[in-house]
Structure 1
Amino acid sequence: MRWFRMRYSSVEDANGRVYRIVGQADDIQEFKERAELAESIRHRLNAAPTAYKFNDDVVSQIFDLFYSSSDISGAVETTLALLGEYYDLSRVYIIEDVDGHSASENTFEWCAPGVEPQKEFLKHVSYDEIGGWRQYVSCFDESGVFYCPDMSALPPEIRAILERQGIFAVLQCAIKDDGVYSGMVGFDECRADRRWTEEQVGTLMFVSRIVSSFLLKLRKSDNAAFSADFRAALDDNSAFVYIITSDTFEVIYSNKAIQDFYKNDFVGKNCYREFIGRDEPCEECPVLRLHDPKAPRVVEVQRADGMLVLSYVSPLRWNGRDMVMVSCVDITESKKVELALSSANIALWTYDIKEDCFTISANSAYRYGVKEVLAGAYRAALADGIVMPDSAVEYTALHEKIKNGERTASATIHYNKKLWPAEWMTVTYTAVFDPSGKPSMAIAIGQDVTALIKGGKKD
């Protein structure tokens, strides 16, 4: 069942008589869900016993922000900034548990001017480093508040990690999922000692409950990306597909094709050790350069078993952590074909639609003396003068067809022979689609037809 808002208006003739009723249906399902969640949160906040007073104006303002916003992440960031500035805090942040409460990750952060951010240093902190999950959770009282104006009173492991961040006083409010600690909203003072007032503690606690309720809804939505339907789509894929953590390269999931071929799912193991027999990631691994827009997302990899694969990587957010989905296609035999094609003046490259770049096959790049990666793809080729102006319309249309979902597209293009393998090429693209049915990349074959064109035989 979905919720719609119905609106009607009448249309009258010249005599003022109604002869038509026009209706409009607006889908308000998302708004309805936010309203129901907001009402549930308001009820729980009013009913929850607490020993703390709070600033009703601040709580109401933030409650209304989440109620009216469809961008939960944006509302969280705005809330952290609002609290930090209103209470003159050094740092406001959110830490979320990952890997089944074995570690935590700093997922949101706001810092006052001059305060050093810590998010990059707290990407994946094992609870073993701070005395274990249970010891840390024991610092919170029955209201879910960890209030510490004096660092010397803390267990040494917890005190050490807080002091490394330059913290003089800390207040943290637990995020609980079905009553179980799963993270916290934190407030740090890094400039001097600080005693939190009762009103500050109460307000920050209530705001944290609002934030955590909406944040848990967001995380459940994130997890839907890895639902049974998504797994089924990956299992139906004949390519080898697996998902790894972006920091440790640990395999979280592998599809049926991998499990059938290797008789192993490799979950919990490092992909580079299991698949290519190395003790560390490859220097050219695209996962290492995911945040570089100019870095290739497609690379050729020689596996430990001798198989040559074309690997495509795509970032994925799941369970509050940055993951990477890796798709591998066996090109061992096609590589032999490529070598044969190159001798026949045929070039190969891939068009990464999502990352908007070309990746020229290593053999073609070497043979023709061109760059292996061209960021900006076809627009860059036009801007850099690789494609001649008289082919600009056909060249743009060729790529737009592939981007818009056509499975194949072809055109004869006039290139700058100083910058491309041939002056005239007939380019044929074949699209590759992701599990959702959208084109993610395309494989191009460019055949040198310069002799035909100059001989007046252009088709």
Structure 2
Amino acid sequence: METRAASAFINQFIEAYYLQHDVSKVLMMLDPQIRWSSVRCQRILNGKAEVEKMLTEAVNRKNYRIEVCEFKMEEIKEESNPFLVCYEIDALLIGENYQYSLTFFGSLTVEARESAFIIKEVYISMFQSEEQFNELLYKEMKDRKKRKQNERDYQDALYLKQVNDDLEVLTNNVPGGIFRCLDDEALTLLYMSDGFLKMLGYKRQEIKDQFDDSFRKMIDPRDRENIEQEVIQQMALGSTKQIEYRILHKDQRSIWVLDNGQLIEDPKGGYPSYYCIIIDITEEKKIREELNLALERYDIIMNQTNDVVFDWDILNDQLKYSRGLERIIPQTIPENNVKEFVFEAGHPLFHQADIPKLKRMLEKIKNKNSYVEEELRLQNSEHQYRWWRLRVSVQFDKNEQPIRAIGIIIDIDQEKQHSQFLLSRSQEDALTGIYNKMTAQRQIKSALASIDRKKFHALMIIDIDNFKEINDRLGHLFGDAVLSDIARRMKNVFRHHDIIGRIGGDEFIVFVKDMQDIESIKIKARQMLYEMHELQLNHDKQVPISCSIGIAMIPKDGDNFKLLFQKADQALYHAKKAGKNQYALYDESIINEYFGDTKVGSVVNEKIDSNENNKVLNGQLTEYVFRVLYNSKDLAEAIASILEIVGLQFDVSRVYIFESSHDGTYCKNTFEWCNSGIEPQIDYLKHVSYRDELGRNYIDNFNEDGIFYCADIHQLPEYHYNLVAKQGIKSMLQCAVMDNGEFKGYVGFDECRQNRYWTQDQIEALVFISEILSVFLLKNRAESILKQESTGLLDLLNNQNSWIYVIDPKSYEILFLNKKTSEYCQQAKIGMRCYHVFMERTSPCPFCPLKRLFESKESQNDEIYIPTFKVWVDVDATCVRWKGKEAVMLSCRDINRYKQK
């Protein structure tokens, strides 16, 4: 072993450990199984890993340096391997504010391995021997009091410095800002962290110069008094406060902050101090306000709708629902044991006929259907059943077992009633309100399959005599009125369970059920003939009104509809041939014998009103009306003039126009002309409810040509009669105003002096004039609405807190920019390409949602970074029609804060 090399190795260790504090270099000189004991550790370390951890921690927390003054090492003996080396180091321990002289004693066990050395054991101590330790201990005890005090002062100084350093790091890095202020009137600022200054945009000197170090002056004037009161209330309960208020920012805006503070008393008796942390909650406040508004809107919507939202916990059989359910049903549905409550025997909540539907829904849920829907009837507080649609979406656990059902109950009672009404209308004859041909035939066939053969039944065919003459002489509208009156009288003659239908223009069919004998069937036929006689007397016209009836008996003449119809038709033929105005029963043995009552004869004296004295040239009048409307600059003035001309030419009491409201629930008298001596009604008819005053479906009064003709208002339903009778009306004619098949109101002509029967020529002229008026009026109203909607839509888009723009999907040219987009991107103009202006590209973006939009035909949503705005946005892309062409609207919302989170 070379002594010089060993000595050099020891010197390298001393330099690396004491002077350089080079952990990696020290570790390279150690045996993997090194044993280490030193003043830095309280136990013997074994192995490089433990030594490395100790050395690294010592280096990381070092806040001093060691300066070696003298190094002494014992002589190395060459014959021993491994060999022990003892050394002594005199050094200076130098800190920021102190300096101490120290002596280190140590020993190293070193082993020579070929041409290298490795340390197997390290021992470092502050004492050279046990005697020295005892001597120092004695001296320590002697000077204990003084040294202990010095040490305490030193430790306190070190601790205080560490605390101050830590506090400085904490205050400058804590989210938000920290400040300290006196509890005086000005809230004088004593300390402000960097975060505090950064949050408000000021420098320390600026706060001193602008606010005179008064935190109170920095608070938004709107909040000063409120927070002072709030602080007083919170301080009465303790020494801490938590308040929200606005504080002035350097850029002239106010920001919302959350202030968490504590009041600390001054030990010297001065003003206490508030130590506070403030956090900027402006965005959070905005989101909370938006959420509150959204919740408020949701509450308003839920309070205004009859729909009910519910959440059923299937596993625990617990139910939560919106308060709208309490308005629907009188019972309180329990939150637990829901199924037991719903399916309780005899429970009136659901209609018993719908209980199987409920069970079917539960079975579908059990069979893993994620969506189920049914239409059910629920009993309301008035003990009436209303129709509701129940829609349920089901959630499943990882084992695909249903755990939760979330659904909505939608009021469809009006829809259901309307559907049933439409079904009824599809089965009824539009003019007379009785069954149409197909429905009557289907109903009779069904009745024939279940009749009681021990009773008597009959199939009657009723045909109006000389009906063509009535139409030719008095007009089709008069003929329609006669047919309607006949149908009404048939309902009076026959019973509600008899089947009555219209099978042709002037031909009716009746299936009479469950009569006691043939004579009772004959009585019904005679009653019908008498009703026709009464009808003629009421009209008192010179055209006779009567009917002929053919009857086939059941089961005598058969029980097959086709056969019975043929026999009844043959009987009708013979009744006609025998002179009309009578009935005939089918009988093969006496087919030529006729049965009937005495023929009823009548004379009609009064002639129909005509335009004989009016001398109205319809073509010239309609041409004049069109020319006045077409050339008019003031449509209202032109319409008023035309109503007067038409009223005078046709000599009516009143001419008027009613327009329907936007939602079709009521109508309003918008134009009126009254003849001499007729009281105006327009001021009393500003809001006439179709449902409450005119009946729910007022349009049903109009025939297929859009005409509602009533020669005598006594024929009207009571609710309608009460409305028109107080206006002095005796007869009325109305022409519907239609827009693309939608009922928009009507033009009307009232006669208040006598019942009036309009001729076909008069009706055709008035209908044509009404249509001309309707076209111009609807055009004018549509233009006004379109202008309002266009202005409203533009205002809506410009006031959105989103970047909204419309582009041509083919050329990517910008067609529209809302206000916010124009302000953020002032270089953007109509006609520019969106990818160039917003995305700073020369070609369409590869991630553009337009392609997916036109492939799926559904709106697209994506998150995109827009360089021009320098923000991440949530983009909704939707197909729209812009100025009559296909376009795409993109709505972009700022999501930068979420992306940052």
- TM-score relative to the length of structure 1: 0.39
| Higher Rg of the two aligned structures | 2
Where relative contact order (Cα < 8 A, 6+ residues apart) is larger, the structure is 1
